[in-house]
Copies of this chain bind each other. A is one copy, B any other.
Amino acid sequence: MRYGIIGTGAVGGYYGARLAHAGCDVSFLFHSDYDYVRAHGLRVNSPAGSFTLGDVRAFSSPADMPECDVVIVGLKTTNERLLPTLLPPLLGPDTLVLLIQNGIGLEEDVQRMFPTVSIAAGLAFICSAKTKPGVVDHFDQGSINIAGYGHCDMDRLRAVVADFRKAGVEAHETPYGEARWKKAVWNMPFNGLTVLLEARTDELLADDASAALVRDLMYEVTDAAAACGVETVGRAFADKMISYTRSMVPYAPSMKVDYDLRRPMEIHYLYTRPIAVAREAGYEMKRMEMLRDALIFKQRRSLGLSAPAGKA
């Protein structure tokens, strides 16, 4: 199968490079990294084995890329508006689009842009970062759950799972709703709180008060999931996520990295959409609303945007 990577960052870059390193045919779209990668290749530093891809199928424009059997989208969701431009050149009649992105509501929006395409959600449990051109630093974890959305071609999805495994990535097929909400259990508390309290994951869990706050926020996500009909994401799973995070290396999630680099944060798909989805199902995510509002305030200040005059 021919793979295309849109958004060759900490996540898309990592999985794309793993697949290519295992012999898959992978075309990468680069933006600012293009010249560097053409000259030096794509480097992955990883406890699971470091390597450099010397001969990278690198592209600087989607128009030059081949039609792909599978497109992996690793874009920041703050760039989701670019998909109607970036995706079409890579799409054939049977292309599977795998969205390895954070949040709730992504598949719905992309399916609306491309009604006939096969869409899958990729839930990556990975600590990685790309802080300089052509180098992905992988710190910890790395598994991925893949879930078919709507009328997704499940045979192709299973072939992708098989390719990931062949590339040394722990990959599993999971039900869609469960997969997205399980990821939200970790993502929603830790991304926002590390920004709000200017702290790493280990610092949040080392303090009783903030650890209680993490837990309360996680329970709010599992309660929201239950309200949305996803009963399999219970409080026991939240407790497991906390233990799992205690065992992780101290970590700044992607939203904290974005905030520190004064980049836009993924507030819409990580907070605003899931809060709206839960509200539609009759559940009010009060704590998350508060976190979302605080993040919007911090984002405006961090980006130097003047606050619009507001009425409360």
Binary CB contact string for chain A from 279 to 300 against chain B (1 if under 8 A, 0 otherwise): 0000000110111111011101
Q: Chain A interface secondary structure, helix, strand, loop or mixed?
A: helix
- Least distance between A164 CB and chain B CB atoms (Å): 32
- Count the A residues whose beta carbon is within 8 Å of the partner chain — how many? 39
Cβ B287 vs Cβ A212 within 8 A: no
- Least distance between A307 CB and chain B CB atoms (Å): 4
- Least distance between A143 CB and chain B CB atoms (Å): 23
Report Cα–Cα, A136/B310, bound state, in Å.
33
Cβ B293 vs Cβ A212 within 8 A: yes
- Contact A312 to B242, CB < 8 A, known contacts A290-B290, A293-B212: yes
Q: Which of B204, B213, B297 contacts A197 (CB 8 A)?
A: B297
Q: Which residue of B lies closest to A207 (CB)?
A: B307
Report Cα–Cα, A293/B290, bound state, in Å.
13
- Contact A210 to B287, CB < 8 A, known contacts A196-B196, A205-B312, A312-B242: no
Residues of A within 8 A of B (CB): 196-197, 199, 203-217, 239, 242, 286-287, 289-294, 296-298, 300-301, 307-312
| Cross-chain pairs A/B with CB under 8 angstroms, 12 sampled | A196-B196, A197-B297, A204-B297, A208-B296, A208-B307, A209-B296, A210-B297, A211-B310, A212-B293, A213-B293, A215-B312, A239-B312
